[in-house]
Amino acid sequence: MMSRWADLPKELLEMISKSLDSGVDALRFRAVCTSWRCSASLPSFDQEIPPLLLMLPQSNSADSVLLRTTVWRMELVRKDPNSSSLSKSWLVKVGESKYGKLHLLNPLTNQKADAATSLDFLDFKFVRLSKAVFLKWSRRFPVFGINKVVLFPMPASCSNIDEFGMLAIYHEGKLGYWRSGDVHWTLLDDKNFQYDDIIVRKDQFYVIDRWGTKKLEPPNQEPKEQ
């Protein structure tokens, strides 16, 4: 059976590998056999952005990196299909960075968790529950004061990095906007510092404040140099 999987046409394997949108899926795909490994490159997502200037102390203004994270339900695959015992499962948060490296993160603090042992992903079934991004300093520490970050367009649909934009809730309720080419962030709605959450659905922003949910149109402006 393994030889049959290995003999699949190269064009088909490349088509399948390009449809994978997570590092976990890519690594599991590459682990099947040598021909599959050669048809799929290791994923890379880290994107450098300008120094973060969101009313943070000037001494903390440094190059930051955007890191994609995914929350998974990780379930141990039963070796005996006839076993009636319940499968163990865990909720895990995985960060995907350069060169296809995956990191287990503390789901509350986004800090890297200590892993005492290695995991064989082929021993587990993964169910993706949610996707998110967060900012970290280039030294791998999360950016303090940033509550949530969303992208527009989302990474999977973004064909041109120059069209990449970002909204962030920071400093306990402020809403900031940044787009490729900007040096500084733009504070949106300086009269309302009560934003609690923000999501993107079908390329549309939705923000939640203390008074309810509303759509939000990102500012259509040229990148700011100063």
CATH at 173: 2.40.10
For the chain, give the number of residues. 226
**What does the block give as tokens for 15?**
């088509």
pLDDT in tens, 63-105: 666 777 788 888 877 666 665 555 678 888 887 665 556 777 7
pLDDT bucket at 57, cuts 50 / 70 / 90:
very low
Q: Which residue has the higher pLDDT, 30 or 43?
A: 30
Q: Which residue range is the domain that position 223 belongs to?
A: 145-226
Closest-CA residue to 195 (of 219, 171, 166, 178): 171
User: Does residue 138 lie within any of the structural domains?
Assistant: no
| Cα 139 to Cα 157: distance, rounded to the nearest angstrom | 28
What total number of domains does the chain contain? 3
The reply to whether omega before 223 is within 30° of 0 (cis) is no
Q: What is the pLDDT of residue 95?
A: 77
* Same domain assignment for residues 2 and 70: no
pLDDT bucket at 56, cuts 50 / 70 / 90:
very low
User: Does residue 48 lie within any of the structural domains?
Assistant: no
pLDDT in tens, 140-152: 566 667 778 887 6
* Same domain assignment for residues 39 and 85: no
When the pLDDT of each residue in the chain is averaged and rounded to a whole number, the result is 70
- The CA-CA-CA angle for residues 76, 107, 58, to 5°, reads 150
Q: Record the pTM.
A: 0.57
* Same domain assignment for residues 151 and 126: no
Question: How many Å from the N-terminal Cα to the C-terminal Cα in the chain?
Answer: 61
pLDDT in tens, 12-31: 888 888 887 666 777 778 87
The DSSP element (H or E) to which 10 belongs, if any, is: helix 10-18
* Percent share of the chain, pLDDT over 70: 61
| Cα 145 to Cα 182: distance, rounded to the nearest angstrom | 20
